[in-house]
Chain A
Amino acid sequence: MTDSPWEYAPAPESRDIANLKPSYRMFVDGAFVDGGGEPLKSINPATEELLTEVSSAAESDVDDAVRAARRAFEHTWSTMPGRERAKYLFRIARLIQERARELAVLESLDNGKPINESRDADIPTAAAHFFHHAGWADKLGYAGYGPDPRPLGVAAQVIPWNFPLLMLAWKIAPALACGNTVVLKPAETTPLTALVFAEICQQAGLPPGVVNILPGAGDVGAALVAHPGVDKVAFTGSTEVGKQIQRSVAGSGKKLTLELGGKAANIVFDDAPLDQAVEGIVNGIFFNQGHVCCAGSRLLVQESIADELLEKLRVRVRTLRVGDPLDKNTDVGAINSAEQLTKITELAASGDAEGAQRWTSPCPLPGRGFFFSPTVFSDVQQSMRIAREEIFGPVLSVLTFRTPAEAIAKANNTPYGLSAGIWTEKGSRILWAAQRLRAGVVWANTFNRFDPTAPFGGYQESGFGREGGRAGLEAYLDV
């Protein structure tokens, strides 16, 4: 910020560490091959420059990949003792750690997220998921699903662009631990770290066909989940696409888990430590540019402290630095795509039109690339689109309440139910509220915490099934 007494010198991370190649190919049956689809052009959302070309899959490639996964499932992976599978997963986890800096830079280039987040959150947590599940591979009999739970077979996995490598880890680690093989489709705009992960699979000596990566757009995902050779479908993404997938697998006998959208309520009671709450609110909605399905996008503040909290919040949000994702000082990076920027802009405009009060951080934005200033809407009513629809961007909607019961009623007034936050010094109130909130994850006096041992997943239209912990194994076992 120009009027700040604290000027930061740029602290850019070198993009050379990403080892960016002029082109990337899909990964099928242990080899990198050209796909039959139109190549994807991967661009850097922070600069709009072309990063690289990625071959994409055609329907015949889906067929090949599923067949390779089936062969690997039947002949090597499901018949291998769990202790051997465990060692492969340990190897993969270590290789992710070894190449962590490379993966972090590549992720930030491809996705637009700040390097401090890809470096300190995404990549370490991805490695942690492989470590955690490595330990399960030879202990499945102790997971509470009977003494000898069986794998399902070939898992079709479709993941979003907001946490490309982390979502891959959430999907692939439990699938492999339980003895399944996978065909994974990364998001159209963020396929690169998945293809470096394929190299890691090669370096780990993973048998061919156990992991297959098919870059492509929604049509490839649709063909993959509908493929008759698939036994299990796992999807993370929008509720709209999740519903289509649920329809397409209906009656097929495929096991399905969905991690969909959210409109989380972050509830601040009048006895909350306000400075701490402000940090949690900022983390809840501006982490990863708000491209988080469990983002705390609805702030519910007790009326008596609303003015004070909002003032503190605006002061804090003004200090967020929006800009180059590779700069280590950047707090908020680039919006992932032009399309997403348009969606955010359009939904924010509906907030103006419906009478909410918009406040936008006066931070400077880069001249090029897709950026959106951190934005806070106050005077929001429950009926407004910005209170009901997932914006998936750095836009916070603020509502107020008077009593704890009203807070719960407003928090639960949504078809979603992924996450929620509670801020209060009163322990009994935390447990009271946590019991009543219809959400899969409840953060009390914190927000956006993830761990491979803690199950994550939604209620209602935020999807079904859990990822992480013992509960997460069910998705990949025939039980």
Chain B
Amino acid sequence: MSDDRTPERLAVAKTYKLYIGGAFPRSESGRVYPVHAADGTFLANAAHASRKDVRDAVAAARKAFGGWSGATAYNRGQVLFRIAEMLEGRRDQFAAEIAAAEGLSRKQGRSTVDASVDRMVWYAGWTDKISMVLGAANPVAGPYFSFSVPEPTGVVGVLAPPESALLGLISVVAPVIAAGNTCVVVASADRPLPAVTFAEVLATSDLPGGVVNVLTGRAAELGPWLAAHADVNALDPTGAPGPLRAELAQAAADTVKRVLPVRDEPDWTREPDLQRLRAFTEIKTVWHPVGT
């Protein structure tokens, strides 16, 4: 990003890459695509992820699942809160990137970043409350202790919303990882740069590599591979256009994937509820006899 005050200095342009397994590789396909600001200026070439990148990302997410889902809720909450801290520290950078991407003023950009930080904090606080709120001790008729606990579904494929580059992204990723899942996220195709910078935040915030994997590219190209992948347990198709959502839901049926029902893109500025936490959670019921 050029800085108006020092016109004689040439800025160091950033190369935006993918984020897979905690590393920042280029797309194995070698492809890139140009990203423009809302006003049409060229911003950067983003990596154009391929089917192979999807597979690598899913493998990384699966590898990370045992550790992340097995971590204590307290620990996961700390890590999510740490993400919020790192976001807070990079407010200005995000505000500038969002302003460019979404065509907002600096002030609007900053308030979007603030909302994103707050959302991360909101979900950070949920990690150790999901079990209390969604779980149950079941008063069965008989000499048994029966209880139900929510557990993460597994690897979640996420198509991030196309319009809201950071707040939308965080609103779909935070509940997935707060519940203990790992994920492969396809960032907004037209506004991918805040997502890559967000990946840099994740990489420096104690989140184990592979818990979140960020791909930049086309939802229409990558979505079907995620929906059909047998090692992906659930799909959030929020960022896919309507007809593609139906197609993805159909592909997901071959492996009985959980697909978040999406009617329209939500208003991301609204207060979230538990729907996204519940959607990527399984309820496990355990029975044990009671007796002397």
- Chain A residues within 8 Å of B, Cβ to Cβ: 128, 144, 146, 239, 242-244, 246-247, 250-253, 255, 258, 260, 415, 430, 434, 439-446, 449, 451, 453-457, 459-464, 466, 469-471, 474, 479
**Using Cβ atoms and an 8 Å threshold, which residues of chain B touch A250?**
246-247, 249-250, 252-253, 259
B278 & A449 in contact (Cβ 8 Å cutoff)? no
How far apart are B260's CB and chain A's nearest CB, in angstroms?
11
Give the A-B pair count, Cβ closer than 8 A: 114
> Residues 123-137 of chain B: 1 if any A CB is under 8 Å from the residue's CB, otherwise 0?
000000000011010
Alpha-carbon distance A439/B138, docked complex (angstroms): 17
Q: Complex formed: what's the CA distance from A239 to B242 in Å?
A: 27
7 pairs of residues in contact across A and B, judged by CB atoms under 8 Å: A247-B253, A250-B249, A251-B247, A255-B261, A440-B285, A444-B288, A449-B146
> CB-nearest residue of chain A relative to B237?
A251
Q: Mark B240-278, 1 if CB is under 8 A from A, else 0.
A: 001101110110111110110101000000000101001
Inter-subunit contact A464/B288 (CB<8 Å): no
What B residues does A455 contact at CB under 8 A?
136, 138, 148, 283, 285
Interface size class of B (residues with CB under 8 A): 35 or more
Q: Which residues of A contact B284 (CB under 8 A)?
A: 434, 439-442
Indicate whether B40 reaches chain A with its CB closer than 8 angstroms. no
Assess whether B7 is interfacial by the CB under 8 Å rule: no
Q: Are A243 and B136 closer than 8 Å at their CB atoms?
A: no
- Give chain B nearest CB distance to A78 CB in angstroms: 20
Chain B residues in contact with chain A, CB under 8 A?
Answer: 133-134, 136, 138-142, 144, 146, 148, 153, 233, 242-243, 245-247, 249-250, 252-256, 258-259, 261, 263, 273, 275, 278, 282-289
Instruction: Among A430, A434, A442, A461, point to the contact of B255 (Cβ < 8 A).
Output: A461
Q: Is there contact, CB below 8 Å, between B253 and A253?
A: no
Nearest CB of chain A from residue B249's CB, rounded to whole Å: 4
CB distance from A229 to the nearest CB of B (A): 18
Q: Are B140 and A451 in contact, CB atoms less than 8 angstroms apart?
A: yes
Which residue in A445, A456, A479 is a CB contact (below 8 Å) of B285?
A: A456
Partner of A454, one of B140, B245, B249, B263: B140
Given contacts A251-B246, A251-B250, A454 and B255 within 8 Å (CB-CB)? no
Question: 9 smallest A-B Cβ distances: which pairs?
Answer: A251-B246, A250-B249, A246-B253, A451-B140, A250-B250, A454-B138, A247-B253, A444-B288, A461-B256
- B138 and A451: CB pair below 8 A? yes
The docked-state distance in angstroms from the alpha carbon of A278 to that of B139 is 27
Please state if B250 and A460 are interface contacts (CB–CB under 8 Å): no
Give Cα A7 to B139, complex, Å.
40
Q: Is the CB of B282 within 8 A of A440?
A: yes
Which residues of the other chain, B, contact A243 by a CB distance below 8 angstroms? 253-254, 256
Q: Which of A253, A451, A470, A471 contacts B141 (CB 8 A)?
A: A451
- Cα distance A222–B242 in the bound complex, in angstroms: 24
Residue in contact with A442 in the complex, picked from B133, B134, B250, B286, CB distance below 8 Å: B286
> Within 8 Å CB of B148, what residues of A?
454-455, 469, 471
Q: How far is the CB of B3 from chain A (nearest CB, A)?
A: 47
Q: CB distance A454 to B287 under 8 Å? A: yes
Nearest CB to that of A255 among chain B residues?
B261
Give 11 A-B pairs besides A444-B289, A449-B144 with Cβ atoms closer than 8 angstroms.
Answer: A250-B252, A250-B259, A440-B283, A440-B284, A442-B284, A442-B287, A454-B285, A455-B285, A460-B233, A461-B255, A471-B134
* Interface pair A441/B285, CB less than 8 Å apart: yes
Complex interface: chain A residues within 8 A of B242 (CB): 251
A446–B142 alpha-carbon span in the complex (Å):
12
B287 proximity list for chain A (CB < 8 A): 441-444, 446, 449, 454
Nearest chain B residue, comparing its CB with the CB of A146: B273
How far apart are the CA atoms of A475 and B92 in the complex, in Å? Answer: 43
Most buried by A among B146, B148, B273, B284: B284
Which B residues are CB-close (under 8 A) to A442? 284-287
For residue A419, give the distance in angstroms from its CB to the closest CB of chain B.
9
Known: A255-B261, A440-B282. A449 touches B256 (CB 8 A): no
Q: Is the CB of B263 within 8 A of A253?
A: yes
B140 partner, pick from A434, A453, A474, beta carbons under 8 A:
A453
Query: Bound state CA distance, A267 and B142, in angstroms?
Result: 23
Query: Least Cβ distance of B248 to chain A in Å?
Result: 8
The CA of A260 and the CA of B255, in the complex, are separated in Å by: 12
**B286: A residues at CB distance < 8 A:** 434, 441-444
Q: Is the CB of A453 within 8 A of B138?
A: yes
- Measured CB to CB, the nearest residue on chain A to B256 is A461
Q: Are B133 and A144 in contact (CB under 8 A)?
A: yes
Q: Which residue of B lies closest to A445 (CB)?
A: B289
For the complex, what is the distance from the CA of A474 to the CA of B283, rounded to whole Å? Answer: 12
What is the CA–CA distance of A250 and B287 in the complex, to the nearest angstrom? 34
How near does chain B come to A148, taking the closest CB pair, in angstroms? 13
Of A444, A470, A479, which is within 8 A of B275 by CB? A479
Least CB distance from B288 to A in Å reads: 4
**When chains A and B are docked, how far (Å) is the Cα of A395 from the Cα of B67?**
37
Give the chain A neighbours of B289 by CB distance below 8 A.
444-446
Q: How far is the CA of A474 from the CA of B249 in the complex (A)?
A: 20
